[in-house]
Structure 1
């Protein structure tokens, strides 16, 4: 069982900026409710509204099991859930928070999406120094991503070896589990195909090539290789045939849309171009149904896995994709489609991009764009791949059928969700075999302030300090307490102090006779000593009690 870190933005494609992580999160949550075997649905949230949203999501999915919500103030409740799942790789801060309650209190599980941003790379490097444990895991969505994570960890370990004379190894697990899809969403019959093609103006002699996703040259896939390869392949078409490229996606701005249109007009004038708004489900369905071939020549380091080629396979389309990152692991060259070779400069030639990003000359968009501009996709190989598929409808059908079977057998959420649950069960078993303990200084950067700043005060309260009332009688002290607690400059502290009745109990105790700190604490339930002692000093601060000389 796992508590899902739930922020609606992570699990929705309805926001203004649709990114791959949003689509993956939305798809995961739907699959988790559909295929998961949880007997209680746990969520860990930042706000009450997020908790209410999670309850609504559970109900909308038709799940009738109990729902438990843990907020920041209920963090220790995660012990009951056993595992906290975050839809991103930012585990270090959660490990430090957990350390306040004991490293073995629950397990942590994160997942990689794009790993090239500064925030994510920093989080990965911090995995070595944060209190991550063998019962924690960062899911890598592909072997390529795992290689990237391992290189960052190796570099961080090298730094620590130079700095401290020891080279630590990461303790957490790095399992490889791909993202999943709902394959049934991509099944289209002959009628849907015919209607979709009519809507695009594609007749039986038109070969429809589809690109679906963000339309960004600097952050997703530079279009020139695809445009050029399609133009080259179109010259070998049979008489009467034509090629239509459908770009089903979204641009970040009107200027980007104009730049793409100008590039297409210049580079592939022999190809009919259609644009559909990929933010709309109806447009995506039309694109999938109408297409004969799918193409994505990803050439950017933001692309870590690639859901869309798998969705294309589920739709029964042969795919032409770059031999890049996770694409090469999902698409079998010559079986489900064709992989197009890619090439990058050797290590040591890209430090200028890292430096410019590190010192703030370039933001993340510029960093991605400059690095991606130096990734080359083999245009001749791509043109040959298109020509091969254009020439054989039978090959397109065979590759499409192979891809469809693979998508269902390997990438359907019905297969992937049990792998998540098996991982969580394994994490739980490893954790439960470890004794629960708590460090004296669990988070060095978040020490008990009365320890961290101990030297600021003249003295520290001890157990033998004796207290008496400042007022002449108990009634006057309690009345003054009530007046003070009505002040805005005082009542806010009740959130971390004893309630009014508890404070009155302390006043009552010291009114009867001078009481030591230890004697006052002994009058309250065990386990509340820290709260009681703080409350004693709080009453001392208000001048309601004083230390007897």
Structure 2
């Protein structure tokens, strides 16, 4: 690893306005924690449009104003990436999602960067029906052992490994010829300074006060979790003799407008005599108050859209014990009998109709089919709730243990340290750059090969060219061809002027391109060819 300076780079803003989603919150918090830790000399964001760049710049002025003022944070046009990688390799490039662009970034690195630096991306939800094609892009000869997918949970890591096994089997891909990125486990985190337990003695749960159960997240039967089993479990406890006034239930978070799910839950709660309140779209202040007021946090995920379970970590940060389904990343977070209780789940071993319907139906439709075949065992759920409802001492001890576990394992500084160790450690993986340089990605469309027959002819080495009429005037400073904004960084008018000079006595394009490459440091044949074609297009050069 030889670097004049350590540069962290990305294609993503890690900051998205709009509706609150777990992925958006996690990415925003990660960026803030990375810049606060400040392990690198520079941070480069290669973004896709001006609006994205403006929003990120405004955000960074709030969270890292000094770094922008010192020129250590650079927001760049994504089309500059090949040139920038050729001029100065980065230490690592990390993406907020492994699904979108990670293999393409690796292909650009292989072609342009002197050093094969680590390229990493993080998993979020994995169950979208289109993700098979997205993960297939990772399986190509240009993937190296320095590329990694950061899995936020151990079940998520196993799911990604199963993706690659399934794809290799289905397409007959040899693992040696079609390697996959390294899979590593680094969890998401929370801000343990912002999320803290409430003052001692502020909660009820003894005497005449009800034990307060809190559910926080997306309230939807087709996304994340179906809450009907929770109401059934509470109703079961009432039938067994529990005083319905001894508990209260709060559902908080986000729900779809005009969804009939909430009215159904309200009817079931009323039938059981359980007092239930709903708090939709709470502010951060209201959210903190809800957690401080609660005695037990409940989350019974049953949907493959869930991969990690950030609300369970938040509950632990607030010092709450958890009753949760034994499902996906939840089993990473909850230590049974120590920080909470896990409820067994039963799932399908075949999903043939859902598998075939998923590509031709909406996301919520096939996720509903899948979730309704995952059962959270209601008797066990009722028993877990009863255990904590009847034991204030257990609730308090589990809450203390949960807080300690979050501080040790799920704080943003710790998560950033794990990422930095990962990026440094990946450099130790052996890589032979030579076979990577010209390895095309099989899903990167070769436009010239696919559409070259559209033109009368293609640029051939034997073409003789000379300065065009506009080229002569351009060279003498009497004419200036317009450079469209979308070509900034891709076309350099100074190089076009040099082409006019090099072609002054007529020259074949092979020699012209070779001469430009020889006289311009860092120039490659593809870039030189693009400048020749642009010059022909704008009458700076003409074919003899």
TM-score using structure 2 length: 0.84
The CA deviation at 1:547 is 5.4
8 Å Cα contact 2:89/2:113 also seen in 1: no
8 Å Cα contact 1:208/1:292 also seen in 2: yes
Which moved further from structure 2: 524-533 or 320-329?
A: 524-533
Q: Within 5 Å, give how 1:154-303 maps onto structure 2.
A: 154-161=165-172, 170-190=179-199, 193=202, 204-234=208-238, 242-256=246-260, 258-265=262-269, 268-303=271-306
8 Å Cα contact 2:107/2:142 also seen in 1: yes
Using a 3 Å threshold, how does the CA distance of structure 1 residues 100 and 119 change in structure 2: closer, same or farther? farther
The CA deviation at 1:233 is 2.4
The CA deviation at 1:5 is 3.3
Aligned equivalent of 2:147, options 136, 143, 150: 136
Structure 2 distance, partners of 1:316, 1:519, is 72
Using a 3 Å threshold, how does the CA distance of structure 1 residues 538 and 403 change in structure 2: closer, same or farther? closer
The CA deviation at 1:342 is 0.2
Using a 3 Å threshold, how does the CA distance of structure 1 residues 2 and 386 change in structure 2: closer, same or farther? same
8 Å Cα contact 1:213/1:278 also seen in 2: no
SS in 2 for 1:174: strand
8 Å Cα contact 1:114/1:302 also seen in 2: yes
The CA deviation at 1:484 is 8.7
Using a 3 Å threshold, how does the CA distance of structure 1 residues 486 and 357 change in structure 2: closer, same or farther? same
**Residue-by-residue CA offset, 1:151-204 (whole Å, 9 max, x unaligned):** 11111111232xx6777563421001111111222224338946xx7xxx9985
Structure 2: gaps of 5 or more residues:
1-6
Q: Within 5 Å, give how 1:115-514 maps onto structure 2.
A: 115-129=126-140, 131-161=142-172, 170-190=179-199, 193=202, 204-234=208-238, 242-256=246-260, 258-265=262-269, 268-346=271-349, 349-358=350-359, 360=360, 362-430=361-429, 434-435=432-433, 439-440=437-438, 442-444=440-442, 445-447=444-446, 449=448, 453=452, 457=456, 461-462=460-461, 466-467=464-465, 477-478=472-473, 499=493, 503=496, 513-514=505-506
Structure 1 distance, partners of 2:132, 2:265, is 34
SS in 1 for 2:519: coil
TM-score using structure 1 length: 0.83
Which moved further from structure 2: 40-49 or 291-300?
A: 40-49
Which moved further from structure 2: 58-67 or 405-414?
A: 58-67
The CA deviation at 1:74 is 1.7
Structure 2 distance, partners of 1:231, 1:116, is 32
SS in 2 for 1:179: coil
8 Å Cα contact 2:325/2:342 also seen in 1: yes
1:525 matched residue in structure 2: 519
Structure 1: gaps of 5 or more residues:
none
The CA deviation at 1:133 is 1.2
SS in 1 for 2:138: helix
Which moved further from structure 2: 140-149 or 121-130?
A: 121-130
Using a 3 Å threshold, how does the CA distance of structure 1 residues 436 and 51 change in structure 2: closer, same or farther? farther
The CA deviation at 1:351 is 1.2
Aligned equivalent of 2:47, options 45, 48, 51: 45
SS in 2 for 1:44: strand
Structure 1 distance, partners of 2:219, 2:490, is 51
The CA deviation at 1:281 is 1.2
8 Å Cα contact 2:32/2:63 also seen in 1: yes
Which moved further from structure 2: 325-334 or 538-547?
A: 538-547
Bigger fraction of residues in helix: 1
8 Å Cα contact 1:6/1:45 also seen in 2: yes
8 Å Cα contact 1:344/1:374 also seen in 2: yes
8 Å Cα contact 1:481/1:544 also seen in 2: no
The CA deviation at 1:68 is 2.2
What's the C-alpha RMSD, in Å, of the aligned pairs? 3.7
The CA deviation at 1:504 is 5.6
Which moved further from structure 2: 241-250 or 95-104?
A: 95-104
The CA deviation at 1:264 is 2.8
SS in 2 for 1:182: coil
For the pair shown, which has the larger CA radius of gyration, 1 or 2?
1
